[in-house]
Amino acid sequence: MSSLRVVVADDEALFRGGLALILDAQPELTVVAEACDGAEAVDAVRTHRPDVVLMDLQMPVVDGITATKSITAMSVPTRVLVVTTFGRDELVYAALRAGASGYLLKTVPPRQLVEGVRSVAAGDALLAPSLTRRLIEEWVQRPRPDPNDRRLSTMTAREREVLVLLAQGESNAEIAATLHLSESTVKTHVARVLSKTGSRDRVHAVVLAYETGLVIAGSS
């Protein structure tokens, strides 16, 4: 198994060092750099081209949201996993809009942190369904969106069904069971949904589902 390269960005030296120790203890994970602010995180990505950046949101010089925008705009395969105290929900939603592929709370157990890095690196994105739905429901409740949004215009009815279930936090296996499809068929539909909507990963497809009104906040 090839090693996954990780950059850890947090302005708290003790917490940052603790994350690095946890990750470096895994045989397939290697911390290639640490950053104490968003500017250093962006520089580290340019230099090391890691698979994943663990990104704090509230940092000096350049904040995590701005750094995330810069990183996801680069021509690099790096994915951003936000690790935050979750003090303000709107910051996490803004991070998802900026291109982050998922987020965790700073209170997460080490095992879940490691699993989160692996998940994001694999392109699955990290979604805690209850927290994600809470965020999106709170921060996408703006003027009622248009369910005929052009970003959905090329999707088939089946692809829309898959997107709705993604937005409800279902895994590929759960979607397969709900729609009576094989898991490989669901994976194909998910890939088409991401391609047609221009979504970087599942997280951004979920955000789009709420923004376009395909899923209404508070619905099940």
Last residue of a domain, one of 88, 104, 126: 126
Pick out the chain residues at pLDDT < 70: 1, 86-89, 125-148, 216-220
**Tokens of residue 9, six digits:** 């960005």
pTM: 0.73
Last residue of a domain, one of 99, 126, 153: 126
217 domain-assigned: no
CATH at residue 155: 1.10.10.10
The full DSSP string for 94-163 is HHHHHT--EEEETT--HHHHHHHHHHHHTT--B--HHHHHHHHHHHS-SSPP-TT-GGGTT--HHHHHHH
pLDDT digits (tens, 9 = 90+) for 121-131: 887 766 554 55
Same domain, 26 and 92: yes
CATH at residue 12: 3.40.50.2300
pLDDT digits (tens, 9 = 90+) for 176-218: 999 999 999 999 999 999 999 888 788 788 878 877 878 765 5
CA distance linking residue 86 with residue 115, whole number of Å:
19
- How many structural domains are present in the chain? 2
Location of structure tokens 């690196």: 121
45 domain-assigned: yes
CA distance linking residue 185 with residue 146, whole number of Å:
28
CA distance linking residue 217 with residue 164, whole number of Å:
12
- How high is the pLDDT of residue 131? 57
Last residue of a domain, one of 126, 152, 176: 126
